[in-house]
């Protein structure tokens, strides 16, 4: 009895699924590498900008302290000038009230021009409306006294000190935004790095997608920060 012909051996199954998985894995790894690279570059840029703003903060507060010291020195000069002006006027008023014409004439010749203008206005006022001293704001010459000019100069220095403080505060706020952006970029570096070490495809994809979303948030914070594109 003859043997029946042997059935043909089944052909090997195509390996398309394996190749597809390899391509997908390579794509995920490549995307993760891109995300990691972008996060690293943005972190470096954010750190650079944050360091610049930190320098601006230090500079601003240093300028503030210098201007405050300058203003205090000017205020001291103003107080000294005001004391001399009042002493000079008091001596003049006492001699005038006592009728010491020689002393009055001498004081009038040695009196500084700005003080003389203040006193002349006071002397010309009617007795019933004249203020007790010429050192009053309603005196139109009062603002031209040396003491008042120094006082105004000191106030300007204090205004500049406040502007320097505001500049330092603003720089600190900008630096904080760069720091916040870097926090997001650091999270991206962690997540994208973890994604490359996992075996489950859906977990890899989910973590990588999350890292991309967080990267986008960090980029939005970065690009909405004042001067982010400037190198200075």
**Does the residue 28 lie in any domain?**
no
Answer whether residue 75 is part of any domain: yes
Q: How many domains does the chain have?
A: 1
Residue 189 CA from chain centroid, whole number: 29
Q: Is residue 21 part of a domain?
A: no
**22 falls within a domain:** no
Instruction: Walk along the chain (232 residues) and give the pLDDT tens digit of each residue.
Output: 445 555 555 555 455 555 555 677 788 889 999 999 999 999 999 999 999 999 999 999 999 999 999 999 999 999 999 999 999 999 999 999 899 999 999 998 999 999 999 999 999 999 888 899 999 999 999 999 999 999 999 999 999 999 999 999 999 999 999 999 999 999 999 999 998 888 788 888 999 999 999 999 999 999 999 999 988 7
Question: Is 63 part of any domain?
Answer: yes
| Residues spanned by the domain of 166 | 33-223
14 inside domain: no
Considering the domain boundaries, does residue 166 fall inside one? Answer: yes
Coil, helix or strand for 19?
helix
Provide the 10 A C-beta neighbour count for residue 222.
21
What is the value of pTM for the model shown?
0.76
Half-sphere exposure of 66 (CA within 13 A, CB side): 7
- Confirm whether 123 is domain-assigned: yes
The three-state secondary structure class of 30 is helix
């Amino acid at each position: 009895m003859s043997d029946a012909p042997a059935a043909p051996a089944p052909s090997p199954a195509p390996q398309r699924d394996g190749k597809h998985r390899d391509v997908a894995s390579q794509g995920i790894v490549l995307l993760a590498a891109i995300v990691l690279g972008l996060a690293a570059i943005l972190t470096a840029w954010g750190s650079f900008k944050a360091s610049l703003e930190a320098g601006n903060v230090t500079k601003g507060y240093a300028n503030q302290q210098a201007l405050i010291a300058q203003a205090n020195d000017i205020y001291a000069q103003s107080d000294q000038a005001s004391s001399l002006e009042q002493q000079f006027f008091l001596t003049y008023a006492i001699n005038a009230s006592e009728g010491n014409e020689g002393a009055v004439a001498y004081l009038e010749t040695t009196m500084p021009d700005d003080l003389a203008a203040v006193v002349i206005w006071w002397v010309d006022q009617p007795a019933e409306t004249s203020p007790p001293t010429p050192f009053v704001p309603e005196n139109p010459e009062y603002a031209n006294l040396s003491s008042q000019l120094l006082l105004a100069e000191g106030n300007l220095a204090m205004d500049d000190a406040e502007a320097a403080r505001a500049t330092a505060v603003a720089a600190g706020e900008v630096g904080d935004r760069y720091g916040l952006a870097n926090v997001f970029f650091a999270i991206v570096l962690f997540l994208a790095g973890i994604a490359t070490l996992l075996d489950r495809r859906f977990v890899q994809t989910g973590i990588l997608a999350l890292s991309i979303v967080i990267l986008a948030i960090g980029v939005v914070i970065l690009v909405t920060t004042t001067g982010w594109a400037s190198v200075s």
